[in-house]
Amino acid sequence: MSDTSSHHDASEESLLFPYDRYESKEATLAQGYQGSEPYHHLYFEEFLDDQVALAMAREFPRHSDGAWTEYKHVNENKAGLHVRDKLPDLIGRVVDELNSPRFVKLLSSITGIEGLLADDSIEGGGIHQAETGGFLNVHTDFTMHRTRPGWRRRCNLIVYLNENWDQAWGGNIDFWAPDMSSALASYPVFLNTAVLFDTPGALHGFPDPLKCPATVARKSMQFYYYTIDDSPTSTNRATAYHARPDDKLVKKVFIALDNFALAAYSWLKRRLGLSDAFLSQVLRLFGRGKN
């Protein structure tokens, strides 16, 4: 009985993530990731098995109920579903696999980060989507887990599930120079592509509003990985958005105001247990000036 169970578990892992494809070239992947500058990162054109990615894309739900958190303010226009039990079946199982010890061990080998931890609460992660007009301004990520003291954010994995995506619609994930002088890289978000990168210092986003049809959304799965940091001097910083050189002055002002609101909310959330749904409502007040 135990042998049959073990075989089933191994088959399930192989179905949900093609470990053989990656574990056989960990050293090469690590060299590419850790040798990239100024932010360690890798872009994958075929991250999962094609049929698994296609099935997930086709079961990906459009946001339509209160389980989704809408982020609509000057710095972003998108929605996220961060509740594991509300994810579709296959997407949920792949989320579990990409949070599994075997996968985290692979990530640790590629990134060179020891002691990586997966976030089974998928706080802020899970599945995300942005519809026509959606955007996410260039930003650096929050540094510490919002509900688990001592968990320092170390790397992100974003998997894209956009079948038949037209690049004319925009939506590329862009990485910007540390001084925000220029974009250093811009990657398409086609079906079954993915990007892995160090956080929280990497400046990234898709700041131009999407031009996709109303029937289409930019869809992704997001995973955040952490290490334990017990240092009392650790810096706890909220997500910080950055204006581009060509942004108008009024937009730069509203980005700064939004950053102030987000930092204040982040501080309150830790002390009062406020929700991201509440954040969405508060920051929406600043959205009127985004243009």
Q: Please tell me what DSSP assigns to residue 288.
A: G
Domain count, the chain: 1
Helix (H) or strand (E) holding 30: helix 26-34
Where does 141-286 have alpha helices with state H? 249-272, 276-284
Q: Is the peptide bond before 200 cis (omega within 30 degrees of 0)?
A: yes
Kindly report the pTM of this predicted structure.
Answer: 0.88
Q: Tokens at residue 171, please? A: 């939506």
274-284: per-residue pLDDT in tens?
Answer: 555 555 555 55
Q: Residue 3 has what pLDDT?
A: 46
* The pLDDT of residue 151: 93
User: Residues 77, 179, 110, CA angle at the centre, nearest 5°?
Assistant: 75
Burial of 91 (0-12, 13-18, 19+ CB in 10 A): buried
Q: Per-residue pLDDT tens for 32-63?
A: 999 999 999 999 999 999 999 999 999 999 88
Residue of 247, 249, 258 whose CA lies nearest to 288: 258
Q: What is the CA radius of gyration of the chain?
A: 19
The 10 Å Cβ neighbour count of residue 55 is 18
Cβ(117)–Cβ(190) below 8 Å: no
Domain that includes residue 29, residue range: 2-289
3-state secondary structure 68-112: CEEEEECCEEEEEECCHHHCCHHHHHHHHHCCCHHHHHHHHHHHC
What is the structure's pLDDT at 64? 75
Rounded Cα gap, residues 239 and 226, in angstroms: 16
Tally of helices (H runs) and strands (E runs) in the chain: 8, 13
The ranges of the chain with pLDDT < 50 are: 1-8, 288-291
CATH number (domain holding residue 103): 2.60.120.620
Backbone angles phi, psi at 29, to 5 degrees: -65, -40
pLDDT value for 277: 53
What's the CA gap between 53 and 221, in Å, rounded?
Answer: 11
Residue-level pLDDT at 9: 55
Q: Which two tokens stand for residue 48?
A: 């999962």
Token couple for 283: 């920051």
The predicted-structure confidence for 256-275, as pLDDT tens digits, reads as follows: 998 888 777 666 666 655 55
What letter does residue 170 receive in the DSSP assignment? -
